[in-house]
Amino acid sequence: MAEAGRQPRVLVVEDEDNIAIALDYLITREGYAHDRVSSGAEAMARIRATHPDLVLLDVMLPGVSGYEICQDVRMDPGLADVKILMMTARGSAMERRKGLALGADGFIAKPFELKELRAEVRRLLGSGTA
C-alpha cells in the first residue's frame, strides 16, 4: 500500500506495444506513477529497483515468463507488499489457477475491457471503488 500523499507506483511488464499504450493511457488517467519494461529478463531488476505497489504482468514474455517473475517476487521477502495482476491472452481456468497458486493477486484475460482492468487496479491498490 502506498504511503499517504504518494501516488501508487505501477510497473507494466508487457512486450506488445499496442497493449502497453492502452495500459499507459489508463494508468496515467487514474493518476498513478508508472514505468514499463518489455521483457521478462528486465522485470525483476526493475521491480527490485523501484519497488512498485502493483505489477501488471503479462504471462507470455520473451526470455522469462510472467509465472517465473511472479514466483521470484513472492520468494523475495522484501517484495512481500508488491501486488501482482497477471494478464494473459490464454485466459483459461487452468492458467488462472496456476497464476494464483504462484501468488498473483489477480488475473485478467486479454483482450480486457478498460473498465474491468481499472476496477482490478483500484481493488489491488485499495483506492476507492470502481
Res 57: pLDDT = 96
* pLDDT tens, residue by residue, 83-128: 999 998 876 788 888 888 999 999 998 888 889 999 999 999 986 4
How confident is the model at residue 43, as a pLDDT?
96
> For the chain, how long is the longest CA-to-CA vector?
39
Q: How many CB atoms lie within 10 A of CB 76?
A: 13
**Fold type of domain 9-124:** Rossmann fold (3.40.50)
**What is the pLDDT confidence band of residue 1, given thresholds at 50, 70 and 90?**
very low
Question: Structure pTM?
Answer: 0.90
Q: Using CB atoms within 10 Å of the CB of residue 98, give its burial: 0 to 12 exposed, 13 to 18 middle, 19+ buried.
A: middle
